[in-house]
Amino acid sequence: MAGNSSVKWDIFCSVVDNYGDIGVTWRLAKQLAAEHGVAVRLWLDDLGAFARLCPQADRHAAQQLRQGVEVRQWLLPWQPVQPADVVIEAFACELPDAYVAAMAARPQKVLWLNLEYLSAEDWVEGCHGLPSLQSNGLQKFFFFPGFTTGSGGLLRERDLLEQRRAFQADPLARAQFLMGLGVAPIAGARLVSLFAYENRALASWLEVLAAEPQVTQLLVPEGRILADLQAWLGCATLVAGDQQQRGRLHVQVLPFVEQEQYDRLLWSCDFNAVRGEDSFVRAQWAGRPLLWHIYEQEENAHWYKLEAFLALYTKGLSPAASAALEGLWRAWNAGAAMGASWDALLQVWPELAEHAERWCLQRASQADLAEALVEFYQNWL
């Protein structure tokens, strides 16, 4: 749906921690501008986090155009602007009072959406699209991303899967990409990527990888897991480019790359350990078996999310494959020993690999999140 540049969207993102808030909103903003032709302003309160995902970014500019998106610094005190036609507050971040007042005062009505965190829990379908009543007459709705047709869907660019398939069918493209990251693939090795929070379970997983007959090449983008990796390797500070070998396990630290490059890393690997929200979804689009380190929440709320996803994802798997996957994911998230569950997973690897591709195709048959947002706006008009 091109040619909507007269329709203006404002996306507000307050960076709580890590790269999920910024990762999701930046990806959404790029896609809305590129595929739906709308004018997008992305309001960010932390340009430093943005610059990690978009290295060309100017960390101090109040306003900059990046990949078709007008990136604006969310300054305090707020500088008044004309509100857009559609306003997204990501993850319930609080909009400036003056901006809300300007939305209410605008002669043309404004659609206000609270874009929520991703969850596979049952209640999501029931809450997706519900109004959130406002005393000032503004129309606000909850918008829930999700894995099922009754939800708002998942972020997926229009040609993503075509690009992924072409890349995976082209060994030269893969080799060149890896070479660009300084990675020389070892013939016959299993390639694994590792993006995770601090995790006590890491040592037991690395032990089993180092001891098994199959060679594993583990690629670790710089980030929070490095301290545990260093402790296990028994070495001082690790930085991008460093390589170490223990038994059959070859470890290499990678630089943190742009989102498009990170996708290619996931597509290149046989198995991806991911975390949070956005990398978790991208690993599903890679069509390869994965391991999710979920973002820990108060009162163990994350365990309900984890179990809800597992219940959905394992549908159609044999009991052995379900049990192996569940065992591994639970151990990883509990910081428990991984050896036995990794061994069990290896027994059902072909089934899990096939399932990962099938799961990806099933999710891709649903409208993607950007498409769903645009459609919601059109239906609301």
Q: Which residues are catalytic?
A: 21, 277
Cα distance between residue 192 and residue 217, in whole Å: 6
Q: Report 215-254 residues binding ligand TRH (CB under 6 A).
A: 221
- Give me 43's structure tokens: 């309001």
Dist. CA 262–CA 143, nearest whole Å: 27
List 83, 145, 146, 276, residue binding ligand TRH (CB under 6 A): 276
The pattern of x and - marking residues 72 through 111 that bind ligand TRH according to CB under 6 A reads ----------------------------------------
Closer residue to ligand TRH in complex, CB, 110/266: 266
Q: Does 256 bind ligand TRH (CB under 6 A)?
A: yes
Q: How far is the CB of 120 from ligand TRH (least distance, A)?
A: 13
Of 141 and 197, the one with the shorter C-beta distance to ligand TRH is 197
The answer to whether 46 contacts ligand TRH (rule: CB under 6 A) is: no
Nearer to ligand TRH, 157 or 278 (CB): 278
State the nearest-atom distance from the C-beta of 276 to ligand TRH, in Å. Answer: 2
Query: Could you identify the residue written with the tokens 């151990």?
Result: 331
DSSP states of 52-107: HH-TT--TT-SEEEETTEEEEE--SSPPP----SEEEEETTPPPPHHHHHHHHH-S
Residue 16 touches ligand TRH, criterion: CB under 6 A: yes
State which amino acid sits at residue 96: P
* Site track for ligand TRH across 189-208, x = CB under 6 A: ------x-------------
- Which residue in 10, 11, 14, 21 binds ligand TRH (CB under 6 A)? 21
What is the DSSP-derived secondary structure letter of residue 148? Answer: S
Q: Tell me the residue ranges of DSSP E strands in the chain.
A: 8-13, 39-44, 63-66, 69-73, 86-90, 111-115, 139-143, 190-194, 216-221, 243-246, 249-254, 271-275, 290-293
Does position 23 interact with ligand TRH (CB under 6 A)? The reply is: yes
Give the separation between CA 333 and CA 172, rounded to whole angstroms. Answer: 36
Are the beta carbons of 74 and 44 closer than 8 angstroms? yes
Q: In the bound complex, what is the minimum distance in angstroms from residue 149's beta carbon to ligand TRH? A: 23
CB of 295 to ligand TRH, least distance (A): 4
Answer yes or no whether residue 277 interacts with ligand TRH by CB under 6 A.
yes
Q: Is residue 122 at the binding interface for ligand TRH, with CB under 6 A as the rule?
A: no
What number of chain residues touch ligand TRH (CB under 6 A)?
23
Closest to 284 measured CA to CA, from 204, 174, 358, 232 = 358
Interface pick for ligand TRH out of 142, 295, 303, 376 (rule CB under 6 A): 295
Asked if 257 interacts with ligand TRH (CB under 6 A), we say yes
- For the record, the structure tokens of 146 come out as 């999700």
Q: In angstroms, rounded to a whole number, what is the distance separating the alpha carbons of residues 58 and 50?
A: 9
Given the complex with ligand TRH, which of 262 and 313 has the nearer CB atom? 262
Contact call for residue 20 and ligand TRH (CB under 6 A): yes
Task: Give Dmax over CA atoms of the chain in angstroms.
Answer: 69
Contact at 8 Å (CB) between 199 and 279? Answer: no
Among 279, 284, 322, 341, contact with ligand TRH (rule: CB under 6 A) = 279
**Distance between CA 227 and CA 236 in Å, rounded?**
9
Residues within the interface to ligand TRH (CB under 6 A): 16-21, 23, 53, 117, 195, 221, 256-259, 262, 275-280, 295
